[in-house]
Amino acid sequence: MLKDAPLSFIYKMFRQKDIKVNGKKAKIDFIIEEGDVIDIYLKDALLDKFHQDALLRPVKPDFNIIYEDENVLIADKPKGLLVHADEEGEKRVTLQNMVLNYLAQKGEFDPHSLTSFIPSPAHRLDRNTAGIVVFGKNLPTQQELLTLFRERKNIEKRYTLLVRGETNREGEIDFPLIKDPETRMVKVGKVERGAKPALTAYKRIKAFPCGFSLVEAELLTGRTHQLRVHFAYIGHPIVGDAKYGDFQVNDSFERMYGFKNQFLHATYFGFKSIEGRLSYLSGKEFTSPLTEKEKNILDSLGRLE
């Protein structure tokens, strides 16, 4: 309800005793339990201000749906589209806003209700990565999805990527990653200096004699830019990666194919054996095909043999 309110405002509400639990004034360290009733006293104008992201920004729902039921929507995100609003101001043309517009047209989301759950992605993809994004359509589902993505034991995510050079037939990349807050770049670091463990498994699908490999990679952890940094670190940067890639290779692919994005596609998502309200999805698998431009590039590289 107040996800856009600054933390200082939340503390102030506690100091002013504007938050009660079960009719009694609550301290900030009070641990709530299922069934507790929380009352928050604030002016309507402030509620509107701190809930502004619930406002629907009109946009055409221009995306493909891989799967949908009453709990889950699995979207096929195109390259160049943000999953959700970013810090630099783009809030309208995002996959989440397209999904919200779609659900509002179906009558499954009321943008004018301040108390309704806002359907949200359970994970994210980079702007220039295409493929599968999973949305929770209600709060209990979203909570279960977030747990599944955090624990990663009962889901499987695979990506298809084109990299420079010939990789091993298969392998694991096990290097901790840390993000530089100033440059916003991710790099390999040491755990004792704040880096987080990161593990990627991969197998080579095809080696092109012209000096590239088509690879299928599985994220065993979910760190920011994990695949991009891991493959660059072992000497096989992803084609088209503007941050961590080989800029000469990127330039040649742009000249030859008009390809300006990274060749990284979330092509597979699967539920393993899961319990709870989403147990009916156990064993379900979903795929996103490569784009036509990606297929054409692979065909062209094959002819260079």
Active-site residue list: 126
Count CB-CB contacts under 10 A for residue 211: 12
Buried b (16+ CB within 10 A) or exposed e, 45-64: eeeeebbeebebeeeebebe
SS3 state at 163: strand
CB 84 within 8 A of CB 96: yes
Opening angle at CA 4, ends 2 and 5, nearest 5: 65
Q: What 8-state DSSP symbol labels residue 54?
A: G
On whether the CB atoms of residues 41 and 154 are closer than 8 A, the answer is no
Sign of CA dihedral 14, 15, 17, 18: negative
Collapsed DSSP state (helix, strand, coil) of residue 31:
coil
Q: Are strands 264-271 and 130-136 parallel, antiparallel or unpaired?
A: parallel
Nearest in space to 162 (alpha carbons), one of 206, 203, 120, 215? 215
Determine contact, residues 167/204, Cβ cutoff 8 Å. yes
| Alpha-helical regions (H) of the chain | 7-15, 44-49, 95-106, 139-151, 226-233, 247-257, 292-303
Contact indicator for 262, 228 with CB cutoff of 8 Å: yes
Please tell me whether residue 216 adopts helix, strand or coil conformation: strand
